[in-house]
Each structure stands twice: as C-alpha cells, then as structure tokens.
Structure 1
C-alpha cells in the first residue's frame, strides 16, 4: 500500500467533506501499518484532531465483547453453547424458552428479543447512578421473564449484548468493564480505552430526521451532556472509545497468527459470530464470504467500520464523528475498499 493511498481514498469518497473529523487505519500481512486522521474536533472548532485522540466505536464495541467471551471460552470458564438461562435461574424466575437460547445465539443476534430498551427505560438508565452490573441484572430480569426463541436469521439487538455483559458479570472474574480491561485490553497494551463520548472529538447527528430522511448536521454534542451517548449500561453493546492505534492492536491480533491473543480457529469463530450482520442503519452486510468480515457501528453521532480479510490477513478501520446514514455508509465502503486496495497494491 502506498503512503498516499489513504489521502486518495479520502478524496475519492468525499468523506472528509461529510464529517468534521475522520480517521482510517490498515494493518496486516505484507503492508506497512498506515494510519491517518484529519479534520477538526467539532464543527466550528479550531482544534485539529491528532493521532492520539480517541474515537467512539459504537457497535464495533461488540467485537471486543465477543473477543472477551472467546477468551473466557479458551480459559474454560464458559462455552459458546452455554444456555442463557443457566446464568440467572438461581437469582430470579426465567421463562422456560430461554433454556434453548445459547450465549452464541445472543452474540450472533439470532434471538427473538427487542433491539433496544424502550425509550422510557433508556431515560431511567441515563439518570441511573447505580453500579452497571446491578443495572444489567434489572434488564436481564425483565428480558428473561418473557418468552423467546432462537431464530435462523440475524435481528440486530443491543439488548442481547447487554445480556452478554450481565452473563460476564457472573463468570466470577468481576464486572464486565473490569473483565474487559484485565483480560483483553491490558493483554493488547491498549491504554486509551474508555466508555462514553471521547473527551476531545465531539459527535454530530442529523439536524432533522423525518423517517428515513435526514436534513443538515446538528451542532456538536457536548461530551458532558447526559444524552451525548447511549446510557452507560450499553457498555458491552456500544459505548467503547479509544485511539485508532489501539483499535489496530485488536485488528492485528485477529488477522496475524503471530499475535497470541486467541488461536486462529477462535479468531475465525469470533469474526463469524460478531460480524456481517446488518446494523440498525441502512448498512447491509458484506456478500457471503468465508474469509471477509465486516462490522459497522453508529450511535447516531459517530460512525465506525472494521473490515477483515483473513485470506490476505489484513484489516482496516475507518471512523468519523458524524452518525448520519450517508456517513455511516461511506465509512463502511471506505473500510472495505482499503482492504481490497491493499491486497491489489502489493
């Protein structure tokens, strides 16, 4: 991959014209690791983004949650086929239907369950000051009291990943956030990670949305505002932030067998389980492929996309501080193109 390829692709897709801040990175076999960030921290700001800045990853957080589950599977603490009900039956009543639903089903979005918390419940959790593990338990109690079933096709669900967070709370290694830090982020030497909106770069959404139609760009969202991200209880589903360099640490570990995070067959399992599902946006999953995987994230104020090609052992990440649908789509297309372009340029 040539040094100026990232600049060429910014210009080709026009992404830097859509969002005030954008970033991209690529890593893998036979190429020089490349990263590029450009733009301003917010619309109207004079502060330029820097390589060390953190970016909101939205639902790409789910890849980290899935990797954490895989780590615990390798340690013998759990299994992809573990029944969801088995982790909660000693604490509160669980509908019998949950006996047939596995954690793997939740991770693949193959459970008949709500996609998000009801708006009224979200408002409660935005203002909830209790421990996140306790909040996850209350969500699990409500969800598992209702009938459900495994399904053969993905139906995107943040609630499913909140339940996975609640299950990780019960593996005897501490709450989800601590487990993620100690068993994944620390092992990858990731030091910039946190939850919620990043401190410097600010997100933007559509100024007006009428059904599928979006008009204009909103003013920057203050990271101190309660509503500048999903509630904190969404931590296992979509509130992680970190620098692009730290994102590359995970992406490299999943495509490079020399990085001993997980066995190669488990890396493949993680990508098959967590990727190639249509998100809540207009994005569509990649065409059927045994070696290429994609995960896309947005909390309506940010966009992110990771694309992996296991045959070429390469991966890319693209991020932007704008969650409008056209930006999410452009971010995903650019991430895909960077992987393809790096393969054909070597």
Structure 2
C-alpha cells in the first residue's frame, strides 16, 4: 500500500510538469542546434521542463531532461553564494584583501593587488584583466598540480603586476582570485567548499565540475560555420585554474534549485542566506548592472527588476532569467557555444516568458 502511494505521488509530481519539447524543437531546428533544454519556474518549483535534440551530432542518442549541461559563467553566482555563506559564518569578510588572504605572498604583490577586496573582485571592480596574460594562460593550460595549486599560480602570476584602473571590467580571473581566497581561508578546494556550503544544502546531487562525462551531452564548438562535437576531457573546458568563474555543470532540475534559491532571496526570503545578504549579492554598484554573479535590469514583462546572466565556455551556452515580482524564472541551455547558440537561447527564453510568465 505504501509503495503504491509513493508511486502515485511520484507520477502526480511528474504529471504536474508541462512538457516544453514542442517550443524547444521549433527553436532547435530553426537554428541547427545539437540539443536544447529548458525549465520554467513558478511558485517555488519547476512547472515545465523539456530537452530536445541529440547528445552529440553524428550520434543517435537523444538528450533527456536528466542530462547535465555546462553552465559556464553562471558558476559566478554560485561562487558569490559560497563566499556569502562564509562571510555570514565569520570565515571571510567582504573587505578582506588579497594581501590578508595570502600573507606569505603579500610582500611580493603589487600594492594595488595587495589592497583589492573580496567584494571588489566579485563586482568586477578589482582591476583584474578581462583576459589572462598569454604566458600565464598557457601555464594554466598545462594544468600542473591540483586545481587549488593552479589557482595559486594565477594569484602569483597576476598579483605581482600593476592592476587595471578602478573601474568596471568583467573578469573571469577576478572570480578565480575570489575562489582562491576562500580556499586559503578554509584550507579546502573551491570545489569541496561549493559542495559543502551550496550544492549539498540545496540537494544538488547531479551537479559537478568541468564538462560532463558519461551518458550526457557533449559540448560543440562553432568552427568554419558548423558545430563540431568536443569529447569530454581536458580540452572540453577551460583550465581548472579559473573554475570559480565558470566550471559547473548540472541537470536542469539541479540548476533550478539554485535559481529558486535566488528567486526567493530576491523576494526577501531567508534560505541559506539572510535577506540582507541576498540584497547585497543582487545589488549593482552605482551606474552598473553587474551585482555578484548577476546582472540586474528592469523589464516590463518582469514587473520591474529582473536578474539574469549567461554563460559559455565556447562549447556550451546557458542563460537564466528571474522575475521576483512575478515569482517566475526561465532556464535555457544548449550544448553549442558560438554561432547561433546565444540567439537561439534568447529566442527560446523569450518564447517561454511570453507563454508562461504571469501577466
């Protein structure tokens, strides 16, 4: 009797999620994507979900809603959430400097980097370059040592130079430095810290790092006007040295758990973090739109403020839109980076917003 009840409960839950395959297939076919997945969030849960296309071009395996998608720079919001958890626990401070985090190396740092704070790194005001210098980037690609050691290589390679001007400059390396500061304070890898403080509390059990392996989609690079599948392995993602900026992969439902956390947080609800901490994460410096891992804009369909961000490691593309006033969100991902990926994902998001967002 109990088993029957549980089975009925699971079936009812599954039935409550509408299938997005129709609208997604229209977009996927129009733009020639290998695959496309999406989820719609309302009322604190996934209300619609779908995945269409192939795990890789040239293969017959179809994607499923349980497949994992690389989220690229959407990882930044997770790193910022991790830092916020550690700040609330008194383990880090928003005004902690790079010099404080690495006291043994601080004397060798340029004074500008020595004084840069965790908060300024997370809002892209740390003076960290948009692109890692070529020689240092090549060194990171050699992937020598553990991921933590590779991030230390980045710290040592950047911090001896003069930082850029005190102005906004979007920087993956800046988030890697923030992740390295958390590692130094907690003496644990960023990957482990993210699992402990963000993924596990949210029940994100199908989330991992770098390109997904096994029976999951492959990423596809856009080369000479066509999508080329890239097998899982070292070349399927950026080096671990900048992982805190963009290395997470997740299923749509796992990704939705994180998105719902921030949707609720933007509504003033306390879960994992205090309301005032969410407000800090979701607030952009004066004159800017970037908060900590989120872009904050106003959209009529959202009833005002919307939180968004996109991510790509050049072989995948993902985008999220959250509308706190409407208690609504949309997630879209494709296993193609470049070419038509961004336009297609935006088109899919727009179609889902048009159909599902409350008026």
Question: TM-score normalised to the size of structure 2?
Answer: 0.82
CA deviation string 1:189-208 (max 9, x = no partner) = 11112111111211112113
Distance 1:127 1:11, change over 3 A: same
Task: Give the conservation status (yes or no) of the 8 Å contact 1:84–1:99.
Answer: yes
Task: Give the conservation status (yes or no) of the 8 Å contact 2:314–2:337.
Answer: yes
Residue 94 of structure 1 is matched in structure 2 by: 109
SS at match of 1:97: helix
Task: Give the conservation status (yes or no) of the 8 Å contact 1:22–1:318.
Answer: yes
Q: 1:181-330 residue pairs with structure 2 within 5 A?
A: 181-199=195-213, 200-208=216-224, 215-218=225-228, 220-224=229-233, 226-256=234-264, 260-272=271-283, 276-277=289-290, 287-288=297-298, 291-330=305-344
Cα distance in structure 1, aligned partners of 2:311 and 2:256 = 16
Shift of 1:329: 3.2
Shift of 1:124: 3.0
Deviates more, 1:63-72 or 1:322-331: 322-331
Shift of 1:90: 2.9
Cα distance in structure 2, aligned partners of 1:115 and 1:340 = 35
Distance 1:204 1:183, change over 3 A: same
Cα distance in structure 2, aligned partners of 1:151 and 1:122 = 23
Hey, which of these two has a bigger chunk of helix by percent?
Answer: 2
CA deviation string 1:96-138 (max 9, x = no partner) = 1135422111111123222232344334333324111111112
Shift of 1:265: 3.1
CA deviation string 1:17-70 (max 9, x = no partner) = 431111001213387622111111001110011122111111111111111111
Task: Give the conservation status (yes or no) of the 8 Å contact 1:277–1:295.
Answer: no
Shift of 1:340: 5.7
Higher relative contact order (CA 8 A, sep 6+): 1
SS at match of 1:80: coil
**RMSD in angstroms over aligned alpha carbons?**
2.8
Cα distance in structure 1, aligned partners of 2:280 and 2:349 = 21
Distance 1:234 1:340, change over 3 A: farther
Cα distance in structure 1, aligned partners of 2:326 and 2:24 = 23
Size of the aligned set, in residue pairs, is 329
Find the structure with the greater CA-based Rg. Answer: 2
Cα distance in structure 1, aligned partners of 2:209 and 2:35 = 19
**Residue 122 in structure 1 maps to residue 137 in structure 2:** yes
Residue 211 of structure 1 is matched in structure 2 by: none
Task: Give the conservation status (yes or no) of the 8 Å contact 1:58–1:303.
Answer: yes
Task: Give the conservation status (yes or no) of the 8 Å contact 1:166–1:176.
Answer: yes
Distance 1:264 1:238, change over 3 A: same
Deviates more, 1:62-71 or 1:251-260: 251-260
Cα distance in structure 1, aligned partners of 2:278 and 2:30 = 32
Question: TM-score normalised to the size of structure 1?
Answer: 0.85
Cα distance in structure 1, aligned partners of 2:260 and 2:353 = 13
SS at match of 2:186: coil
SS at match of 2:220: coil
